[in-house]
Copies of this chain bind each other. A is one copy, B any other.
Amino acid sequence: MGKPSQATRDKLKTVSTATICTALFKRGLRKQMIQDVHPLNPALGNMVGEAFTLRYIPAREDLNPISVFTDPSHPQRKAVEDCPPGAVMVIDSRREPRAASAGSILVLRMMVRGCAGIVTDGGFRDAPEIARLAMPAYHNRPSAPTNLTLHQAVDINVPIGCGEAPVWPGDVIVGDGEGVVVIPAGIADEIAVEAFEMTAFEDFVTEQVLAGRSIVGLYPATDPKTTTDFQAWRKAKGR
């Protein structure tokens, strides 16, 4: 499992998940958006990092008394200490938000350790506290019951599903105010470059539309004048 280069990371910090989805769509990848997860604090900037995964299965009552957490090798607790700085923990909670995937103390610990973010297709408990942290977190909805109620962590860093998307360890995860997208590790660099370029064009188009220009010929750029104007705009803007 590699890590995205700093250049790729920097570019992905500035583009939207929507733009990335379009770049993935052009390559035949239509299911990379983690469905129905939301940022606890939409004001934080983009979340970018390689995926570190955690897999939950339904909790069997006899295996999940409150005492399990006294074992430091419990996969959930181990994952919190092992997730590398710069990585994003992605949890397969089977789209089950009726019990928590994790709470504020664990998320805080990950923040202190330098992790880049955390995502679950279930819910976090202590959501109001997590929303005040500086590390991005995404979930379906707040969920106060302890994870032992419905979830048992069993695997670290295996391929998982999260919100109907496939997540392979090392894939590059990007989150913005809209949600979270999964970029296959092998194409992260090219997607970053393409999305960065697309973003410049979209910013140009937005300015033009705001100034009253029709989208016909402009978006997409079927009128050659659009391309000319865009080149001039880039030069003027230094982009």
Separation of A84 and B148 alpha carbons in the complex (Å):
32
Max chain B C-beta neighbours (<10 A), residue from A27, A155, A161 = A161
Taking a contact as CB atoms under 8 Å apart, the answer to whether A217 and B72 are in contact is: yes
**Interface presence of A112 (CB below 8 A):** yes
Contact of A25 with B166 at beta-carbon distance under 8 Å, contacts A18-B100, A214-B109 already known: no
- Shortest Cβ distance from A95 into B: residue: B94
Give complex CA distance A81, B212 in Å: 12
- Chain B residue numbers with a CB within 8 Å of A149 are 21, 25, 30
Most chain B CB inside 10 Å of its own CB: which residue of A30, A80, A220: A30
Q: Shortest Cβ distance from A61 into chain B, in angstroms?
A: 5
Q: Is the CB of A166 within 8 A of B59?
A: yes
Copies in the complex: 6
Determine whether A85 belongs to the interface, using a CB cutoff of 8 Å to chain B.
no
Picked from B70, B158, B184, the residue with its CB within 8 Å of the CB of A222 is B70
Among B29, B97, B214, point to the contact of A62 (Cβ < 8 A). Answer: B29
In contact, A98 and B35 (Cβ under 8 angstroms): yes
| A233 CB within 8 Å of chain B | no
Q: Are A158 and B154 in contact (CB under 8 A)?
A: yes
* Residues from 15 to 58 in A contacting B, C-beta threshold 8 Å: 16-18, 20-22, 25-33, 35-36, 38, 42, 57-58
Residues 101 to 136 of chain A near chain B (Cβ within 8 Å): 103-106, 108-109, 112, 125-128
A146 contacts chain B at the CB level, 8 A cutoff: yes
Q: Are A77 and B215 in contact (CB under 8 A)?
A: yes
Chain B residues with CB under 8 Å of A26's CB are 66
Chain A contacts with B in 133-168, Cβ cutoff 8 A: 141-146, 148-149, 152, 154-155, 158-161, 164-168
- Give the residue name and chain of the B residue nearest to A215 (CB): B109
Nearest B residue to A68, CB-CB = B220
B residues near A197, Cβ cutoff 8 Å: none
A21: min CB distance to chain B, Å: 4
Q: How far is the CA of A106 from the CA of B202 in the complex (A)?
A: 11
Do A105 and B179 touch (CB < 8 A)? no
Residue from B16, B30, B143 in contact with A61 in the complex, judged by beta carbons closer than 8 Å: B30
The answer to whether A166 touches B60 (Cβ under 8 A) is yes
A7 on the interface (CB 8 Å rule)? no
